[in-house]
Amino acid sequence: MLKDKNILIGITGGISCYKILELCSRLKKKEANLKIVMTEAATKFVTPLSFETMGKCEVYTDLFSGTHSKVHHVELGKWADVFLIAPLSANTMAKITYGIADNFLTSTYLAYDKDLIVAPSMNTNMLNNPATQKNISILKQRGVRFIESESGMLACNTVGDGRLREPIDIVDYLEYYFTKKDLVGKNIVITAGPTVSKIDYVRYITNHSSGKMGYNIALSARNRGANVTLITGPVHPFDINGIDIINISSNDDLKNAIDSKFDDCDALIMAAAPIDYKIENYVDRKIKKDGNNLELKLIESDDILRYFGLKKKNQKIIGFAAETDDLIANATKKLNSKKADYIVANNLKTEDAGFDVDTNIASIISKDGVKNYPKMLKSELSDVILDLVGD
């Protein structure tokens, strides 16, 4: 999503400047194009050379650089798809609020006419000072987008608000910003990960599902503007902000959680891998070894996908088929028996298409036939799947 995006980063004075080195690294790995503007104060904390190295880009500090044919603080604004100021100090915040253009960064801001994103960082008292709070209010009224600071240990050895958000959160915000919002108003329920069936008080059976597919779909759906409910088994591949998350354990938990959201949803995407068999008789204590083998009786679990396939009205239901043999035949059978609209099928024995990997090789089966896809990241496949919701 950030590939080939032109991101202008403004860096102001503060100890949290060091985090922007990591931010540059993460953005370059996403194949974004960077240019950086630093205030003089920022250069006292981290050298321009460090940012040139990590960002693989030009770093500007001198307002009087350039030529009569190329005024840098004007040209940078034309080049940028977005201007991000991180960290934003209280001083620079005040300057951009009142149009003071006494350095390269603030002059660039005044010449810039697109979206501005800021990530404030400062001492708690400075943040909560009425003057700063008024500046924040004014900037928000103008449409400036804030990546709000968080609470934590600050450089002044106190704990409070004003800590710069982590680079991974800033990248997440930028990906959300650049994603087309084509699913606004859609209520999408997504399931992820395995379920478990308890044997006794300390043991259980489960499967190898990592939850990565479901989590990637939830993240993509959020970025595309949907209202997302993620129902997840006991896995946590990564954090997702801005969605409702319901943690479950058993098949019954999963079914009940979906049922609580199903009537009001537009789509159910069943990326979870509920266990097909459960323990018949759970023992509410630890079973002790006694020199004999332990025999467990497994009974077939309720068919959750079919339950909602029969219950649906206008909802779209997308199921998954993780197979080891006869992929298309088994997936087609599942499509028909479960009353699903689509089945996303993959062969677990195929390299880079099984559990706990970041890629998949999928076929999507519907009443219209089969469409095969090449190997792609699960984040990319997520958008292919979500396109089905918008059809």
Q: What span, in angstroms and rounded, lies between the C-alpha atoms of 103 and 81?
A: 22
Predicted pLDDT at 390:
76
Predicted pLDDT at 62:
87
Residue 309 Cα distances to 260, 262, 271, angstroms: 15, 11, 15
List pLDDT tens digits, range 307-341: 999 999 999 999 999 999 999 999 999 999 999 99
pLDDT, average across residues 224-229? 97
Predicted pLDDT at 162:
85
Predicted pLDDT at 200:
94
Pairing type for strands 277-279 and 298-300 reads antiparallel
* CA R_g for the chain: 26
List pLDDT tens digits, range 243-279: 999 999 999 999 999 999 999 999 999 999 999 999 9
Long-range contact pairs involving 277-282 (C-beta distance under 8 Å, separation at least 24): 277/197, 277/205, 277/301, 278/197, 278/205, 278/250, 278/251, 279/197, 279/198, 279/199, 279/205, 282/197, 282/198, 282/199, 282/200
Q: Which of 327, 315, 326 is nearest to 373 (CA)?
A: 327
List pLDDT tens digits, range 138-161: 999 999 999 999 877 666 666 778
- Residue with tokens 């190898």, as numbered in its chain: 208
- Residue with tokens 């600050």, as numbered in its chain: 154
Instruction: For residue 148, give every residue at least 6 positions away whose Cβ sits within 8 Å of its Cβ, in sequence order, or none.
Output: 120, 165
Cα-Cα-Cα-Cα dihedral of 272, 219, 370, 356, to 10°? -50
Cα-Cα-Cα-Cα dihedral of 301, 336, 233, 191, to 10°? -150
User: What is the overall mean pLDDT for the chain?
Assistant: 94
pLDDT, average across residues 114-123? 96
Predicted pLDDT at 150:
84
Predicted pLDDT at 1:
83
Percentage of residues of the chain with pLDDT beyond 70: 97
- Residue 359 · residue 376 · CB < 8 Å: yes
Pairing type for strands 33-38 and 6-11 reads parallel
What are the catalytic residues?
156
pLDDT, average across residues 153-182? 87
Q: What span, in angstroms and rounded, lies between the C-alpha atoms of 273 and 276?
A: 9
List pLDDT tens digits, range 76-87: 999 999 999 999
Q: What span, in angstroms and rounded, lies between the C-alpha atoms of 163 and 227?
A: 28
